[in-house]
A and B are shown apart, each in its own frame.
Chain A
Amino acid sequence: MGEILSNYDVLAAFWGTIKLSLLGTFGALVLGTIVAVLRLSPVRVFQWIGSWYVNTFRNTPLTLLMVFSILGLTFILGLQLNTQDLNSNAFRWAAVMLAVYHGAFICEALRSGVNTVPAGQAEAARAIGLTFGQSMQHVLLPQAFRGSIAPIGSTIIALIKNSTVAAVIGGGEAANLMSTVIENEGSRFSVFLVFAIGFVILTLPLGLFFTSMSRRLAVKR
């Protein structure tokens, strides 16, 4: 185990994973919020656009999106995110596709949070004379946000694990290095353990954090 850590730059690879995950998470949160607003808006056309987005990207394999971003978008349609460096182009596309794919799940997480708010809350807010904006700000959105912490947490954890899919296009992260190591050293259990433990370290504390957050902020009903 020690020799793998000293012969290969495992930390740099995981730093790549972390960067990819951060970029992907940020993008997914932004995209997911936009799509959630579309899906929750009272305008039918916006709802259709939102549903189309969710149904399309939630049901497409992330692997396909990644491969398509290089073989289709970069090479054939000429959409390059970095014209000088192919590796950096792959890395950026990987971040974009992570965001696009998980944005659909963030949208659903937010929507499920809104759905946890009972209709009586809105009715009560309007009954005591709050305006639309006030009832949103003080009554509905805080509850909806608390209700969606847990599913958003699961989505972010899944995103970190799914960042490995970038290996199919050489995105410069942990799974990429792992296949190189296995090619050189053979498929030893210690190799697997190093990378597996790396992901346990990345995801387990986050999981505990989100669980405790969602428990602490849970709305008592």
Chain B
Amino acid sequence: MSAQSVLFDAPGPKARRRHAILAVVGAVLAVVALYVVVRKMQTANQLQGYMWEPFLTDRSVWRDYLLKGLWGTIKAALISIVFAAVFGLVFGVGRLSTIRPVRWVCSVVVEFFRAVPVLIMMIFAFGVYTRNGVFANDLNPLAAVVTALTLYNGAVIAELVRSGVHSLPKGQGEAGLAVGLTTGQVLRSIQLPQALTAMLPALIGQFVTILKDSALGTAITYTELLTWSKTLGSAFTNTVPAYIVAAILFITMNYLLSRLAVTVEKRLNRRGKTAGGAVAAAPLPGGAPADATPA
């Protein structure tokens, strides 16, 4: 809301009248758009009761399809976030290392995996796993999804760690060195704890990305929410409603997570313990906060 105060003055009587008229116009346009959509669905016979009722009345819709799909999505996302956090911590610290070759290798790895699309990694990992039988047959898709999500998001988290440490005030590290800690000790006991707290909101934002990207698993036969809603659509001949419900489930999960990120951020700011907005500095080749980047 602060944006309004910058761009616009407080409205006077004339402006308020104009705003009221515009509000009515906007509302009418929204209603018209909604009507067009409903009308289109109706002519295509997508608003029949038998298509939508099962979501409320038939328990098997949830038990045999949607909940299974949700579990598949959440399982892949949870495993990936754990691995990605470990990967990110290791390579993020690696990029901060004082040993030049270590820093170099970590930088190349991180930049490479940030530049390669998740789906490319997923397809490749799946191919490797199935050909060589790395995992049990029914585990291969999950393993490929987790591999791809871990590599990509781990690289992003590594960047968060690095920028988090860099955005701390210089005095933090200097004070540590001054009292006789080694650079490693300074990083471990002074800089990382502060940086990790500050990047918590961005980390939650990254979890949203992982949750969304796990839907890519449908391309390599991993059975998550999207795959199950497709099966549901064929079983109940209600493809369109099934996808809409799946979308609502995704939106709800991700929306709640983003709200959580905002709450955590506000709380951290109020505590005033984190030095500066470490979170906002994640220069992909660019520099947007992680939750603002669609990946």
Q: Which residues of A contact B (CB under 8 A)?
A: 40-46, 49, 55-56, 58-64, 67-68, 71-72, 75-79, 101-102, 104-105, 108-109, 111-112, 114-115, 117-119, 121-122, 126, 132, 136, 140, 150-151, 153-155, 157-159, 161-162, 164-165, 167-168, 174-175, 178-179, 182, 186-187, 191-192, 195-196, 199-200, 203-204, 206-208, 210-211, 214
Interface pair B3/A109, CB less than 8 Å apart: no
List 19 extra interface pairs beyond A112-B292, A214-B287, CB under 8 A.
A46-B23, A55-B255, A56-B251, A59-B250, A59-B255, A60-B250, A60-B251, A63-B216, A105-B292, A114-B6, A151-B289, A165-B119, A167-B123, A178-B124, A187-B126, A187-B131, A203-B285, A204-B111, A204-B115
Q: Which of A42, A43, A195 interacts with B120 by CB under 8 Å?
A: A195
Write 20 A-B pairs (CB below 8 A) sorted by A numbering. Answer: A46-B26, A49-B26, A62-B215, A62-B294, A67-B218, A72-B243, A77-B40, A77-B44, A77-B46, A114-B6, A121-B6, A151-B287, A157-B284, A157-B285, A161-B116, A179-B123, A191-B124, A196-B116, A199-B116, A204-B285
Interface residues of B in 1-58 (CB under 8 A from A): 2-9, 11, 15, 19, 22-23, 26-27, 30, 40-41, 44, 46
Q: Which of A42, A71, A161 interacts with B230 by CB under 8 Å?
A: A71
Interface pair A67/B2, CB less than 8 Å apart: no
Question: What is the distance, in angstroms, from A110's C-beta to the closest C-beta of chain B?
Answer: 10
Cα distance, A101 to B116, chains bound together (Å)? 19
Closest 5 CB pairs of A and B: A207-B285, A187-B127, A151-B288, A61-B215, A154-B286
Interface pair B294/A58, CB less than 8 Å apart: yes
Interface residues of B in 239-295 (CB under 8 A from A): 239-240, 243, 246-247, 250-251, 253-255, 258, 283-289, 292-295
Cα distance, A132 to B6, chains bound together (Å)? 11
List of B residues within 8 angstroms of A61 by Cβ = 212-216, 226, 250
> Which of A60, A63, A118, A214 has the largest count of B CB atoms less than 10 A from its CB?
A63
For chains A and B in complex, what number of residue pairs have CB atoms within 8 angstroms?
228
Cα distance, A56 to B2, chains bound together (Å)? 23
Task: Using C-beta atoms within 8 Å of the partner chain, give the interface range for chain B.
Answer: 35 or more
Interface pair B287/A150, CB less than 8 Å apart: yes
Given contacts A59-B255, A64-B250, A186-B127, contact A43 B26 (CB under 8 A): yes
List of A residues within 8 angstroms of B115 by Cβ = 161, 196, 199-200, 203-204, 207
B78 at the interface (CB under 8 A from A): no
Q: Which of A59, A71, A72, A161 interacts with B258 by CB under 8 Å?
A: A59
B198 at the interface (CB under 8 A from A): no
Cα distance, A68 to B244, chains bound together (Å)? 9
Interface pair A49/B30, CB less than 8 Å apart: yes
List of A residues within 8 angstroms of B292 by Cβ = 105, 108-109, 112, 151, 154-155
Cα distance, A121 to B123, chains bound together (Å)? 50
Cα distance, A46 to B20, chains bound together (Å)? 11
List of B residues within 8 angstroms of A76 by Cβ = 44, 46, 239-240
Interface pair A42/B8, CB less than 8 Å apart: yes
Question: What is the distance, in angstroms, from B193's C-beta to the closest C-beta of chain A?
Answer: 28
Interface pair B212/A154, CB less than 8 Å apart: no
Interface pair B219/A63, CB less than 8 Å apart: yes
Question: What is the distance, in angstroms, from A28's C-beta to the closest C-beta of chain B?
Answer: 9
Cα distance, A186 to B124, chains bound together (Å)? 9
List of A residues within 8 angstroms of B111 by Cβ = 204
Residue of A nearest to B20 (CB): A43
Query: Interface digits, B108-133 against A, CB 8 Å rule (1 contact, 0 not)?
Result: 00011001111111011011101100
Cα distance, A187 to B147, chains bound together (Å)? 15
Residue of B nearest to A169 (CB): B219
